[in-house]
């Protein structure tokens, strides 16, 4: 198996021989990791439950955690799930890597499609599953939304969407998501939406694929799955708490598979995660921080504020050269867009001539870094 180096490894290699300008404070805007303290009540729940380390956690997750996640889905999306329609997970990265392997294991000549640019775990899962990959390109020409080619989709066993999207920041409406649900039913492929940025919205709440499934009458969520996480919403990526929800028949088999891979979350983490999933006030506070950062970005870079995520997907003349220049002259690190995408069959890389900027710092550091980026663009 030939796995591609991770984007950050490529970035380190790109910049390894470049000396940054020490007149500026170093600013790293590459990784989608909130640089804010995890709320105290979550930390306290973790500390209070440390004695539970003496116990093995269950693969199914504790009842309190599953109940908190179900309540989150109900309150946020108006969707009521049964216990059989949701599985707590150790974050979502492990799910995105092992679920395709589980699902595609017995498929002859498996085919998987996913949005391009993408979170690299999708590609890793495809490689590990020995699956043919179809890229759903997100470009300015299609408003960073995946074009629908039914001749290709009809060959797929599985399609992974990612909306709100990392890195392009694009979103799909309830109606657009509903169209994808109908395609999954029509062509009998499993449709999974990675919704880890659903709570980082700047105006109106972003719809879930689960809502869209109900919207088009697929009340049993046949062929439909979503994942979500507290990493972004609670500034708690180290908590590793997520879930996969949707089609009960698929999840029943997947739960059996999960008993073998040893990815049950430690009980103290589950207690802290239960507290995080059960509270919305801290999420509202986080959204306000990101809104302020986007207002600063609009003022400095004259961008259109996206509907969700904490990224800027910024077009530049040459992303690799710009990234090197920005680091050398202004001591700011960003991520070249082509590292987050792949060339399609036509030789087109939809990430080329873009950079991803993660607005995960406080207002002062954000303003300083963005002013340097603006100066570098001149």
The model's pLDDT over 44-75, given as tens digits with 9 standing for 90+, comes to: 999 999 999 999 999 999 999 999 999 999 99
Residue 346 — very low, low, confident or very high, per pLDDT cuts 50/70/90? confident
Across the chain, the runs of DSSP E, i.e. the strands, are 27-28, 86-90, 111-116, 132-137, 158-161, 190-194, 224-229, 241-246, 311-315, 332-333, 335-336, 354-358
pLDDT surpassing 80 at residue 26: yes
What pLDDT shows up at residue 336? 98
**Model confidence over 279-289: pLDDT tens digits?**
999 999 999 99
Q: How far is CA 187 from the centre of its chain?
A: 25
Task: Give the mean model confidence (pLDDT) for residues 286-301.
Answer: 97
By the 8 A CB rule, do 353 and 31 touch? no
pLDDT surpassing 90 at residue 2: no
Top-confidence residue, 251 or 2:
251
| % of the chain residues with pLDDT over 70 | 100
Task: Give the mean model confidence (pLDDT) for residues 13-23.
Answer: 96
| % of the chain residues with pLDDT over 90 | 97
Residue 19 — very low, low, confident or very high, per pLDDT cuts 50/70/90? very high
* C-alpha to C-alpha distances, 108 to 103, 112, 134, nearest whole angstrom: 12, 12, 16
Give the chain's mean pLDDT.
97
As given in the structure block, the two tokens for residue 41 are 């009540």
Give SS3 for 33: coil
Residue 342 — very low, low, confident or very high, per pLDDT cuts 50/70/90? very high
**Model confidence over 162-189: pLDDT tens digits?**
999 999 999 999 999 999 999 999 999 9
What pLDDT shows up at residue 126? 97
What pLDDT shows up at residue 378? 87
């Amino acid at each position: 198996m030939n796995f591609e180096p991770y984007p950050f490894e490529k970035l380190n290699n790109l910049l390894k021989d470049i000396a940054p300008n020490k007149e500026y404070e170093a600013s790293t805007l590459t990784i989608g990791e909130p640089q804010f303290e995890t709320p105290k009540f979550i930390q306290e729940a973790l500390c209070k439950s440390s004695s539970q380390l003496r116990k093995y956690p269950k693969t199914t997750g504790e009842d309190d955690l599953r109940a908190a996640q179900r309540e989150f889905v109900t309150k946020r999306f108006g969707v009521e799930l049964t216990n059989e329609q949701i599985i707590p997970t150790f974050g979502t990265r492990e799910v995105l890597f092992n679920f395709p392997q589980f699902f595609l294991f017995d498929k002859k000549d498996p085919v998987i499609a996913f949005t391009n640019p993408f979170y690299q775990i999708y590609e890793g899962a495809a490689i590990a599953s020995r699956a043919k990959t179809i890229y759903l390109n997100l470009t300015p020409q299609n408003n960073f939304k995946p074009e629908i080619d039914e001749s290709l989709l009809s060959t797929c066993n599985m399609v992974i969407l990612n909306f709100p999207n990392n890195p392009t920041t694009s979103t799909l409406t309830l109606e657009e998501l509903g169209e994808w649900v109908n395609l999954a039913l029509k062509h009998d492929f499993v449709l999974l939406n990675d919704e880890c940025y659903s709570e980082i919205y700047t105006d109106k709440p972003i719809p879930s694929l689960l809502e869209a499934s109900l919207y088009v009458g697929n009340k049993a969520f046949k062929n439909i799955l979503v994942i979500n996480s507290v990493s972004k919403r609670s500034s708690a990526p180290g908590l590793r708490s997520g879930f996969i929800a949707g089609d009960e028949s698929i999840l029943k088999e997947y739960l059996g598979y999960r008993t073998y891979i040893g990815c049950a979350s430690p009980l103290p983490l589950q207690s802290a995660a239960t507290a995080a999933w059960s509270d919305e006030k801290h999420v509202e506070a986080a959204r306000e921080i990101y809104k302020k950062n986007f207002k600063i970005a609009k003022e400095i870079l004259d961008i259109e504020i996206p509907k969700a995520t904490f990224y800027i997907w910024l077009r530049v003349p040459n992303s690799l050269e710009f990234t090197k220049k920005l680091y050398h002259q202004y001591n700011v690190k960003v991520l070249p867009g082509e590292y987050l995408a792949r060339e399609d069959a036509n030789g087109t890389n939809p990430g080329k001539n873009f950079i991803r900027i993660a607005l995960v710092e406080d207002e002062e550091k954000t303003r300083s870094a963005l002013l340097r980026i603006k100066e570098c663009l001149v």
